[in-house]
Every structure is written in C-alpha cells, then in structure tokens.
Amino acid sequence: MSKKKFKEFEEYIKNKRVAVVGVGVSNIPLISFLVGMGAKVTAFDKKTELELGDIVKQLEAKSVNFVLGEDYLDKLSNFEVIFKTPSMRIDSKELLIAKSEGSYITSEMEEFIRYCPAKIYGVTGSDGKTTTTTIIYNLLKEQGYKTWVGGNIGTPLFSDIKKIKPEDRVVIELSSFQLMTMDVCPEVSIVTNLTPNHLDIHKGMEEYIESKKNIFLNQDRQGMLILNRENNITYEMKDEAKGKVEFFSSKRPLSDGAYYKDGVLYLKDEAICEEKNMAVRGIHNVENYMAAFLAVEHEVSKENMSKVFSSFKGVPHRNEFVREVKGVRYYNDSIGSSPTRTLATISVFEKPVILIAGGYDKAIPFEPLANEGYNNIKSIILFGNTKEKIKGVFEELKRSKEIDIPIYEVDSLEEAVIKAQSISSYKDNVVLSPACASFDMFKNFEVRGNKFKELVNNLK
C-alpha cells in the first residue's frame, strides 16, 4: 500500500495550534515530538498538576501550555489540530464543537499508520490480541527483521517514526477505541475473534463490531485480512474486505488457510508443529499461533515458526504461573477482563479451578461464565463491583440446572487470596481471571495482576 511521506506531516504541523488530550504514557512522548517539529502544543488532562507530578514542569520548560482539572475540556477550542486520547468518543460534545470550528481531529496511532514507512501488521479482537501481537513480533525478530511493537500494549511509536526504516517490520495491537475513528489500515490485519466487550463505552454490540472493522475497511487490493473461521462475527467480515482474505480454524481443515487437527498445526496443508510442543497452554493459544503463522507466511521460515512455538512462554498476566504453596498452584490471568477470556483460561486446566473473579462492570453479560464454565469451576471467590451480578448468574444456575458451585464473597483481592488458600486442597489450581476490568479497584489489569502476585508470594 502506498504510504504518505513523513516530511508532509512535518511541514503541515509546524506552527500549528495543537491540543493533545490526555497526558498519559503514549501522549507524553507525542507532546515532546510535536514540540520538536515546531507545533504550539497545549496539553489537556482531568488530573491536577499535583496528580501529574514533575512531567508538567518538564513539559512547561519546552513551552507546552496546560489545561488541567475537572472542567479541562471546556477550553478545547480554537485549535487547528487535536490529538485525542483513544477512550474519548469522537461524538463527545467538545469534539463535535471543535470539528464544527474546523479542527482536524486525530490520534497518535492514526498518524503513525498513515506515515510509517515500514510494513505494519495490525491485530484486534476481543481476546488474544496481545498474545498474537507478541507472537508475530517474536516470529519476525527470529527471522532477523528489525521489528517494532506497540499500539494498545502501551508502547508509543509515533515519536520513533523517524528511526523506522522501510525494511523494518511493525506489529501493533489495536483496541476498539483506537479503531473507532481510524481511516487508515495496516497492510496485514487480523481479527482474532469478537464477543461482547466494552459495552460500558460503546453504544452497543453493533458499534463495537463496526469499530473493529476499521482495521481493514480502508485496505486496498494489496491488503490482507486474516479472520477466525469459527467465530460467526469475524467470518461474516469476509464480504466487506477489498484485499485478500485468509482464515484459520481450530475445528476444520482449510487447505488454503491455517488449521488444527489431531494435535497438529497446519499451514496450507503443511504440518508446522505439534500442540504438545507448545510452550503455552490452551486451544485459544493454538488459534493465536495459526493467525500469526498466516500473517508472516511469506517472511518467516517454517523452522523459525516451530522454534518460536516451542520457546515462547507467553505474556505476563495471561494465565501466568506464579507459585506453588503446599501443593496448590496459583495462576495470574489478570488480563481476563471478559467472561469469554476467562472461559478460555479455565478450560486449559485438567480439573476444575478455584476461580477468583469480579471487578469493574463493562455492561457485558456474565451468563456464559456460569452456563459454559461450571464444569471448569470447583468454587468461585467474588470481589469488586460486579460480585453480586456474577453471584446472581451462578445462583440461577443452581435453580435451573441444580448445579451448586460454592460461592464466597470478599471485599478485596487480599481477602480473596486468603480465602483461596483456606478452601484449597492439595493439587488444586487457584486462578485469578476476573472476567471484568480492574478500574473499580486498580489503575489497570497489570497493577491488579502484580498485586495478586505479590499477595501469593507472601503466602506462608
């Protein structure tokens, strides 16, 4: 696909009045980068100067202006360019006013895709995004490519764009929030699967799906779209693709795609590796590998595919083994922020687990966790804002199917770990996979997962 030259952006942004909404991990380097190109930058954030800390003085020294505090968006006017934070809806009152005034509204990731000189592999979906992104990164790196990784996994890339060469490779994870306004696409796009998620932000499931489609809708005929054949929502996306479409399947042979059969992963009918040699567990990870193999089929050797398959031990907070205490094994799956992700995690264990669940309410149903997961759950420990909701679906399970899973309610993650230790027996597995986001108690899932690991490591 043809890419715009970054020189065009440099010429465009010079001396422009630019607003950057959100002084977070990805936008701090962006602010400095824009200042370096001669933009007149004002940073907006709901936090106060005290909450933001030293970064305010550091950026003020570079002539950055700040608008901070509760009503910070009231002054979002009279800017030629606005870089919004991903979670800010494009139809918010402030952005609609700014757009009517002629502001160009964009984001760090949109401009990166627009001007990046290297080939980009983009990954989205409800579950498996980060693992698939990381697998592709490892495959390309093993093959010898200079590879960059970023996007939703927290690494800002736009400020490094001048360092990226055409022969490099870039892998990015893209959330529905980042994709909502995207009008540019990676050369290779993957949709791992789609199930209800983030319905606290999106107006409904339809909007969530439509946002995900933006990862491929503006591809040209040279683009490639990789879809999960066994997810009905992703399978139907094939009809809207302009470029080549390839599928992966964990349930049926696909001679022109990637598939899993009798413990073996195949790529275009050629056996690549056996599941028993996979360093991470679970059929969902088999699917992640098949998607990744399709993405790099013409750039990575079969030998290097097999090598990464048997050596990559997974990403932190994704069914991560923490410690064994008195014969009980503890696993951290803090990334499990939806029922479907939690179901995938607990299904890999040979016996039912003691599940720790609950957290911030994303307005998605918990019935699947009970109705599809009960065979994998020995008992469930609930905490956080959603504990009563989750308790309700398990109580309904008891009424309708007479399946009685012990339920314990606690007020904190600390209490949950203590309760798990008190009710566990030799050879049990205790799994933190909350089926919810973390924001009711923790800044993000990493903080939640690290706290869990700390608590488990302190058990006597």
Domain-embedded: residue 361 = yes
Mean pLDDT computed over 357-379: 95
Q: Do 379 and 282 lie in a common domain?
A: no
Domain-embedded: residue 386 = yes
The pLDDT assigned to 154 comes to 62
Q: Do 84 and 132 lie in a common domain?
A: no
Mean pLDDT computed over 201-223: 91
The pLDDT assigned to 198 comes to 65
Confidence band of 199 (pLDDT split at 50, 70, 90): low
What type of residue sits at position 251?
K
* CATH code for position 130: 3.40.1190.10
The pLDDT assigned to 204 comes to 83
Q: Do 293 and 328 lie in a common domain?
A: no
Tell me the DSSP string of 154-179: S---GGGGGG--TTSEEEEE--HHHH
pLDDT tens-digit profile of 256-266?
Answer: 999 999 999 99
Q: Which helix (H) or strand (E) holds 94?
A: helix 93-100
pLDDT tens-digit profile of 112-134?
Answer: 999 999 999 999 998 889 999 99
User: Would you say 32 and 25 are in contact if contact means Cβ atoms under 8 Å apart?
Assistant: no
Domain that holds residue 70: 6-106
What's the first-to-final CA gap in the chain, in angstroms?
57
What type of residue sits at position 100?
S
Domain-embedded: residue 132 = yes
User: Would you say 190 and 125 are in contact if contact means Cβ atoms under 8 Å apart?
Assistant: yes
Tell me the DSSP string of 202-264: SSSHHHHHHHHHTTTTT--TT-EEEEETTSHHHHHGGGG-SSEEEEEESSS--TTSEEEETTE
Domain count, the chain: 3
pLDDT tens-digit profile of 388-420?
Answer: 999 999 999 999 999 999 999 999 999 999 999
What type of residue sits at position 136?
I
The pLDDT assigned to 177 comes to 87
Q: Do 292 and 341 lie in a common domain?
A: no
Domain-embedded: residue 371 = yes
Q: Do 126 and 158 lie in a common domain?
A: yes
Q: Do 145 and 254 lie in a common domain?
A: yes
The pLDDT assigned to 153 comes to 79
Confidence band of 450 (pLDDT split at 50, 70, 90): very high
What are 124's two structure tokens? Answer: 């989205």
Q: Do 121 and 40 lie in a common domain?
A: no
How far is 41 from 460, CA to CA, in rounded Å?
A: 52
User: Would you say 403 and 305 are in contact if contact means Cβ atoms under 8 Å apart?
Assistant: no
Average pLDDT, the chain: 94
Q: Do 42 and 93 lie in a common domain?
A: yes
Domain boundary among 106, 127, 148: 106
Kindly report the pTM of this predicted structure. 0.81
Q: Do 95 and 179 lie in a common domain?
A: no
Domain-embedded: residue 1 = no
Domain boundary among 284, 311, 338: 311
* CATH code for position 448: 3.90.190.20
pLDDT tens-digit profile of 51-105?
Answer: 999 999 999 999 999 999 999 999 999 999 999 988 788 888 999 999 999 999 9
The answer, yes or no, to whether residue 377 has pLDDT greater than 60, is yes
